[in-house]
Structure 1
Amino acid sequence: MLTGFKSLVRKASSIFSSDKEQAYPIIIPRNNHSLSRKSLSPNAVKVLYRLNKAGFEAHLVGGCIRDHLIGMEPKDFDIVTNATPEEVHKTFSNSRLIGRRFRLVHVTFGREIIEVSTFRASSKQDDESATANTSLKGKDSARSAHGIVLRDNVYGSIEEDAERRDFTFNALYYNVKDFSIHDYCGGLKDIEDKKIRIIGNPRERYQEDPVRMLRAIRFAGKLGFDIEEETAAPIKEMAHLLDHIPPARLFEEVLKLLGSGNGVETFALLRQYGLFRYLFPDTDALLNSGWKRSDINPEGFILQGLKNTDDRIQSGKTTAPYFLYAILLWPSVTLRHEEFQAQGIPVTPALHQAASMVLDNQVASTAIPRRFSTPMREIWDMQLRLPKRYGKRALQLLEHPRFRAGFDFLLIRELSGTQLDGLGKWWEAFQFGNEAEQRELIRSIDSRSDSSKSGPKKRRPRRRKSNNKNTVSSQVTE
């Protein structure tokens, strides 16, 4: 970590002024930093050069520069320009305009998408000048009754663009014309100090977009940085503003927060700052209640699930969004399942009702598309089906499209302390056993089932064959 940044500091030790007033931007020439075109996406470089050739200013911005300086491999290559979205779209035939709240352009190169946005000015500044200048280029801003910015399409200069970005280390720009890095808000110093600092007044910035609170948590979990004191101070008090963010947007934020390889740390921070309850209200209430059962420790289960997800991602494997959500909601499903069974509802219908109730409650906070909620239900349902391995059922379950996800979920339950009488080990052996080994495993279950039944098997009484003549005559008689 910070290897690229240490190199930069060593070569340009005077970039930080000792005076209180630092002159911005700080410009780091190519020979004083380690970021080169070889570290960048070739497609992003193509977009930069094409925009320059068309007469526009264009820069890489934010995450890719920050991550390189920290010593992480850059993944997202975002570009800003003084060209409007329509002008960018016209420049690239392989592009499309997207977004209403924040209009931008996606330039596609196969599976890679380069995101291009136009320099933004402060929407607050535009609101104040709206009556004085109704012809402002790109004027398109709106706020909700709670002060949340609903549309942010007010175009401005690169200096204005830097001021309206969220955190200082995201206001770093890379100029492809001379390969220099421009720091407009002190992001380099905050990287050196391992601090997450919001640009401007924290309360105003969170009011404009409450998701910035979640982003602060995400960066803290991802980078291992501390949230600067003034940046952190209003979060608990203003967390309730997340209730006014569209559930579909929060669904995507949860995947970034807990599905990016740092879920365990991020989960702890979300709870510490009082944000988790606005993402998963039922789960948070259950965790706070201290409810436990002999076969589940809710917090232990969630932490084990997040750890497994982190391990997969960090080893280069993929995870499905529905699996992450299935983990986070399972404790609530278990609680509701218990309540429905107490009302006399049979086990399987009780589970289905519990799943429906939990999902219905959850979508009010974070929308869950049907393509994800259906496999979530199937994973939960597999937890009742996997213990039933008798006869041909084991082979049938092995062919189920959700078997592997259900089995992985089962292992997480066992690892978190749920006692399932070696069920995971049995299925592990069954999956990889040959035909003879599978028959023996099934036989062991069948024999165990037979031995568990007490007393001799009752024989049904034999029925006497009726006399056809008597039967017919009696029917006739009647």
Structure 2
Amino acid sequence: MIFGFLKHLRRQSKGESQKNRVLIYKNEHSIDPGKISIAANKAIKGLQEKGYRAFIVGGAVRDLLLGLTPKDFDIATNATPEEIKEIFRRSKIIGRRFRLVHVYFSREVLEISTFRATVSTNRNSMFLRDTTGRIIRDNIFGTQEEDALRRDFTVNAMFYSPDEEVLIDYSNGYRDLVAKKLKIIGKPDTRFREDPIRILRAVRFSTQLGLSIDKLSLKSMRLQKNLLLNVPSSRLFEETLKVLLCGEAVKALSEPESYEFLGLLLPEIKGAMSKTGNKEFLLNALNKTDERVANNQPNSPAFVLAAIFWHEILSRWQKEELTGKKPFSAIVSAIDEFINKRSRSSILEVPKRFELDMRNIWLMQAKFQKTAGRQSYALLRTNRFRAGYDFMLLRADVGQLDTKIANWWQVFLRNNGDEKKTISRHQLGSFPGKGYKKRFNMHRSEEG
């Protein structure tokens, strides 16, 4: 036991440099220890009891310094994945590109990673780059300082020791955070080539946290943006969705820097923002999404995507109706044409599960136009009804739909039992009811 502890102490000091390390003590920073989860404290204590070093790292430290309560806590340690797994019974080693350990505490899952080192050669099987310079495997273990300097941005590279209440900074991240500056660590061109997703992460952090991207980083982002095309589609979609659901989607479309990169991946955004009616609809939809994030309510990714693509569906729908097709047949043709075209030419591939939900939301827009009879009851049972309903109210709000239709559905949904049956027998406008009001239901992620 003692021998093992001394072995860990020797390993932690080997290669460690204190030259570039800045310690910021509790009287100098604003971190509230009460905002650290019980699970994070338990994990750190469990590692320390076995002789390892362990710290909260990354975005959680950044958020704590900003006075926010982190959604997730990541832990960094000098223990290897196998050693971590040996300590925590309910744990699992995951990842190939970047091996780490998921540790399960009741309802909370912690990510615990081993300090990484950056190497300059591709000759090690534990570290590989592709032909563009993108890192596709990164499992060389190193010191805490090396781990800090291989992270993406200075504000994400700080460590925090809960027991000592000390902040450890190797890259001037604390200074940059105070100055509201977002700066990549190292040479920008090299770091964005290593992982082009850092471009989207820069967009999200800048927008969400109100940080200004420094000039060299922004210049490199613009030069390297086409490298995003080399990122696996699932990861690209996930990171794009994080930008749209970060709580500042409206801001992301209003700031030139973020709009530029989102427009590359979703050119439909530029189309929607170029015409007043479409722009108003999209910004209203994103504003509702931002409000739900602020209120800690779940959002439907399909709802957001359906709103972004809606102007494409609407224009096709209108053209199909001019050929004499009925509304539902016309919108079916419009949706099929758009999805087929997008599947052949899009940069950002939408997963099938979201595509199906978008289709349901769009199809409902034709069905909402029928406001009497059994169809109104059948529509209530449609998958993603609440999302489709909110979508319809947004359309009425910007003049894309007769407000009498929105009014009918609001009255229909407000009533129950016999009253609902009575309303369903009346055609549009033939029942007493108050005028249309902007009223949005909570489209839960399970329902819409």
* 8 A Cα contact 1:217 1:269, kept in partner: no
CA offsets 1:394-450 (integer angstroms, 9 cap, x no match): 22222334322111111122223424232222211110124454355445416869x
Give the equivalent residue in structure 1 for 2:210: 224
Give the equivalent residue in structure 1 for 2:310: 330
Q: Bigger CA drift: 171-180 or 310-319?
A: 171-180
Give the equivalent residue in structure 2 for 1:412: 394
Identity of aligned residues (%): 37
Give the equivalent residue in structure 1 for 2:147: 161
Amino acid aligned to 2:357: P
Structure 2 counterpart of 1:42, from 38, 44, 47: 38
CA offsets 1:250-308 (integer angstroms, 9 cap, x no match): 22112211112111112334765521233213x045247x457xxxx222221111100
Q: Mark the CA change 1:196 to 1:362 in structure 2 (over 3 Å): closer, same or farther.
A: farther
Q: Mark the CA change 1:235 to 1:34 in structure 2 (over 3 Å): closer, same or farther.
A: closer
Give the equivalent residue in structure 2 for 1:26: 22
Query: Residues 11-410 of structure 1 correspond to what in structure 2 (within 5 A)?
Result: 24-123=20-119, 125-127=120-122, 130=123, 140-269=126-255, 274-281=260-267, 283-284=268-269, 286-287=271-272, 290=274, 297-341=277-321, 347-360=327-340, 362=342, 364-410=346-392
C-alpha separation in 1, matches of 2:169 and 2:354: 41
C-alpha separation in 1, matches of 2:108 and 2:340: 35
Instruction: Output the TM-score relative to the length of structure 2.
Output: 0.84
CA offsets 1:219-246 (integer angstroms, 9 cap, x no match): 1111112111212122223211111111
C-alpha separation in 2, matches of 1:392 and 1:318: 31
* 8 A Cα contact 1:195 1:226, kept in partner: yes
* 8 A Cα contact 2:331 2:363, kept in partner: yes
* 8 A Cα contact 2:272 2:282, kept in partner: no
* 8 A Cα contact 1:217 1:270, kept in partner: no
Q: Which has the larger radius of gyration?
A: 1
C-alpha separation in 2, matches of 1:77 and 1:101: 21
Q: Are 1:429 and 2:411 matched, yes or no?
A: yes
SS in 1 for 2:246: coil
Instruction: Output the TM-score relative to the length of structure 1.
Output: 0.79
SS in 2 for 1:445: coil
Amino acid aligned to 1:165: R
Amino acid aligned to 2:209: L
C-alpha separation in 2, matches of 1:400 and 1:359: 21
Q: Mark the CA change 1:383 to 1:44 in structure 2 (over 3 Å): closer, same or farther.
A: same
SS in 1 for 2:427: helix
C-alpha separation in 2, matches of 1:235 and 1:223: 19
* 8 A Cα contact 2:32 2:64, kept in partner: no
C-alpha separation in 2, matches of 1:277 and 1:243: 13
Give the equivalent residue in structure 1 for 2:436: none
C-alpha separation in 2, matches of 1:89 and 1:354: 52
Q: CA offset at residue 350 of structure 1?
A: 3.9
SS in 2 for 1:234: helix
CA offsets 1:55-102 (integer angstroms, 9 cap, x no match): 222111011111111122222211111222222222222111222222
SS in 2 for 1:241: helix
Give the equivalent residue in structure 1 for 2:442: none
C-alpha separation in 1, matches of 2:342 and 2:52: 45
C-alpha separation in 2, matches of 1:43 and 1:362: 44
SS in 1 for 2:69: coil
* 8 A Cα contact 1:172 1:182, kept in partner: yes
Amino acid aligned to 1:30: K
C-alpha separation in 2, matches of 1:194 and 1:271: 16
SS in 2 for 1:181: strand
SS in 2 for 1:122: coil
Q: Structure 1: which 5+ runs fail to align?
A: 1-21, 450-478
Q: Mark the CA change 1:168 to 1:447 in structure 2 (over 3 Å): closer, same or farther.
A: closer
C-alpha separation in 2, matches of 1:342 and 1:236: 42
CA offsets 1:138-183 (integer angstroms, 9 cap, x no match): x512222222112222221111111111111111101245331101
Q: Mark the CA change 1:271 to 1:188 in structure 2 (over 3 Å): closer, same or farther.
A: closer
* 8 A Cα contact 2:253 2:259, kept in partner: no
SS in 2 for 1:121: coil
* 8 A Cα contact 1:236 1:273, kept in partner: no
* 8 A Cα contact 1:196 1:226, kept in partner: yes
Q: Mark the CA change 1:225 to 1:406 in structure 2 (over 3 Å): closer, same or farther.
A: same
SS in 2 for 1:87: helix
Q: Mark the CA change 1:345 to 1:393 in structure 2 (over 3 Å): closer, same or farther.
A: closer
Q: CA offset at residue 30 of structure 1?
A: 3.5
* 8 A Cα contact 1:27 1:181, kept in partner: yes
C-alpha separation in 2, matches of 1:33 and 1:401: 49
SS in 1 for 2:97: coil
Q: CA offset at residue 346 of structure 1?
A: 5.3
Q: Bigger CA drift: 298-307 or 430-439?
A: 430-439
SS in 1 for 2:174: helix
What is the CA RMSD across the aligned residues, in angstroms? 2.6
C-alpha separation in 2, matches of 1:365 and 1:259: 19
